[in-house]
Structure 1
Amino acid sequence: MCELHHIISLEQFYDELTRQLHLPTHFGRNLDALYDSLSADVSGPFEIIWRDTEQSRQQLGADLYATLLEILQSVAEERGDVTLDIHH
């Protein structure tokens, strides 16, 4: 399980996912690499819980927040063993 709280930067987002989901050392810390790593490198099943998303959206900006959410949703839909729980 991965719990995200008070995410205010992309670096913090990457840091938390890397720490909690044990992303591989070759994870490139970019959006394409994030999708690739979550899709193939992390053993499932796992759950991502993102709390305080309204604060995250404000801090990250609406576009980046929407992109991150889209990546997480795509991974959850494609894998079938990933659960995404978003709390506003």
Structure 2
Amino acid sequence: MPVTVCQLQHITSLEQFYDEITYQLHLPAHFGRNLDALYDTLSSDVRGPYEIVWRNTEQSRHMLGADLYATLLEILQSVAEERGDVTLDIHH
């Protein structure tokens, strides 16, 4: 089965993050665009296998703020750890 790849780069806002991940992973219409919904949707509603590649994360951390960036990264890491068909590739 082919792997869907979601390429994130130059993320400067939470809205942009949601836009990119929604478009690239074809998130369902009921995705609520909040952090809880992000976890729920990525962990159960998105068909795998898929990979999230996030480039230029230092810029994203600066633009999003360290706390929000850390929360997003934690959500993505949790989903990757819980699902056997999701990988996360972070590039600083």
The TM-score with structure 2 as length reference comes to 0.95
1:5 aligned to 2:4?
A: no
Query: 1:26 corresponds to which residue?
Result: 30
Residue 70 (structure 2) aligned to one of 66, 80, 85: 66
Q: Which residue of 2 aligns with 1:15?
A: 19
Aligned residues: 88
- Indicate the percent of aligned positions where both proteins have the same amino acid: 83
Q: CA RMSD in A?
A: 0.3
Deviation at 1:80, TM superposition (A): 1.3
> Within the alignment, does 1:81 sit opposite 2:57 as a pair?
no
Structure-1-length-normalised TM-score: 0.99
**1:79 Cα offset (Å):** 0.5
**How far did 1:12 drift?**
0.2
Q: Which amino acid aligns with 1:62?
A: A
**Superposed displacement of residue 13, structure 1:** 0.2
1:20-43 CA distance string (max 9 Å, x none): 000000000000000000001000
Deviation readout 1:49-87 (Å, 9 max, x if unpaired): 000000000000000000000000000000111000000
Supply the AA of the counterpart residue of 1:40.
Answer: S
